[in-house]
């Protein structure tokens, strides 16, 4: 179904994992997509794989000028900027008392700052073109649920959730929806490698009622729905897609692994 036919989109963190799954779902739904990522090689491969409606652009989302330029480029390439997905982000696993100031700042700059710049400049392009749009922020269950050794990441994702709510409040009357998706454990090449460790696999699967990881394609399908007119009254909320993991505690990534090994 071409539910996004004729729409222009930006997806950050689009070279792999969740971002690539969302970009793929958008292209399959008829949208043109500007794929943004720092990994030039993976970005070129993803754009080539997705075909003529996909354009790769190396972008550092912690740099406001680069984000602004990407939003403008997408509008020029597709005729309008209708959808922005702020997916780029990363975390660091370390005890709160040991994480360095540099690591804290880098997590906040990308995972939180990149979302702020994406909302700010995506909205500016939408307002300037006079055509309503949708901004989707990829959060995490860790925006609501503390994780051992993840103070920087949890704080950043909690901030993402609040940017979503503030954006919806300020921009709703001007025709722009701002919504969020909070994935739990998603199966990607990175997590697949981590879950090869039996102790880590037991920790994660033990707190997921459905007993499995979320497929990246499920996040892509949810993003298509939220970006479409079928979700035209959904704004300001962050939807968890986590197999039910929020009904239990987050796995103890520091002490839990030690106990299991």
**What is the number of domains present in the chain?**
1
Cα angle 14, 15, 21; round to 5: 60
- Give the active site residues: 153
Range of the domain at 174: 8-188+216-248
Which pLDDT value is given to residue 203? 87
Q: Assess if residue 20 is contained within a domain.
A: yes
Residue 74 included in any domain: yes
Nearest to 163 by CA among 180, 186, 146: 180
What does the buried/exposed string (b/e) look like for 20-44 if buried means 16 or more CB atoms within 10 Å of the residue's CB? bbbbbbbbebebbbbbbbbeeebbe
What's the pLDDT at 64? 98
DSSP state of 63: S
Q: Alpha-carbon distance 14 to 21, whole Å? A: 8
Q: What is the pLDDT of residue 257?
A: 54
The enclosing domain of 103 has a CATH number of: 3.40.50.720
Residue 47, helix vs strand vs coil:
helix
Cβ atoms of 214 and 204 within 8 Å: the answer is: no
Stated pTM of the model: 0.95
The DSSP 8-state label assigned to residue 79 in this structure reads S
Q: Ramachandran region of residue 51, left (φ > 0), alpha (ψ -120 to 50) or beta?
A: left
* Domain presence at residue 201: no
Phi then psi for 24, rounded to 5 degrees?
A: -65, -45
Residue 32 falls inside a structural domain: yes
> What is the distance between the alpha carbons of residues 199 and 255, in angstroms, rounded to a whole number?
11
The CA angle 209-19-88, to the nearest 5 degrees, is 100
Do the beta carbons of residue 42 and residue 15 sit within 8 Å?
yes
Token digits for 239?
């939807």
Question: Which residues in the chain show pLDDT less than 50?
Answer: 260-261
Q: Shortest CA distance to 51 belongs to which of 26, 69, 70, 71?
A: 26
Query: DSSP 3-state assignment of 78?
Result: helix
206 within a domain of the structure (yes/no): no
Q: Looking up tokens 């179904």, which residue turns up?
A: 1
166 falls within a domain = yes
**Structural domain contains residue 111:** yes
Residue 208 lies in a domain: no
């Amino acid at each position: 179904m071409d539910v996004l036919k004729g729409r222009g989109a930006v997806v950050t963190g689009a070279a792999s994992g969740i971002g690539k799954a969302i970009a793929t779902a958008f292209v399959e739904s008829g949208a043109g997509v500007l794929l943004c990522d720092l990994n030039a090689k993976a970005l070129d491969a993803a754009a080539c794989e997705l075909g003529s409606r996909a354009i790769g652009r190396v972008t550092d989302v912690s740099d406001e000028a680069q984000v602004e330029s990407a939003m403008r480029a997408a509008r020029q390439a597709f005729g309008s900027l209708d959808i922005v997905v702020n997916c780029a982000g990363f975390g660091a696993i370390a005890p709160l008392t040991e994480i360095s100031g540099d690591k804290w700042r880098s997590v906040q700059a990308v995972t939180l700052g990149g979302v702020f710049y994406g909302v700010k400049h995506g909205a500016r392009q939408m307002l300037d073109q006079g055509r309503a749009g949708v901004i989707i922020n990829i959060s995490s269950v860790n925006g609501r649920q503390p994780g051992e050794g993840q103070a920087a990441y949890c704080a950043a994702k909690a901030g993402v959730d609040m940017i979503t709510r503030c954006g919806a409040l300020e921009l709703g009357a001007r025709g722009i929806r701002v919504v969020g998706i909070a994935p739990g454990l998603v199966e990607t090449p990175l997590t697949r490698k981590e879950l090869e460790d039996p102790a880590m696999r037991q920790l994660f699967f033990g707190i997921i009622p459905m007993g499995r990881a979320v497929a990246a394609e499920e996040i892509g399908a949810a993003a298509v729905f939220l970006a479409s007119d079928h979700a035209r009254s959904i704004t300001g909320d962050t939807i968890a897609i986590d197999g039910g993991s929020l009904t239990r505690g987050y796995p103890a990534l520091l002490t839990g692994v030690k106990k299991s090994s």
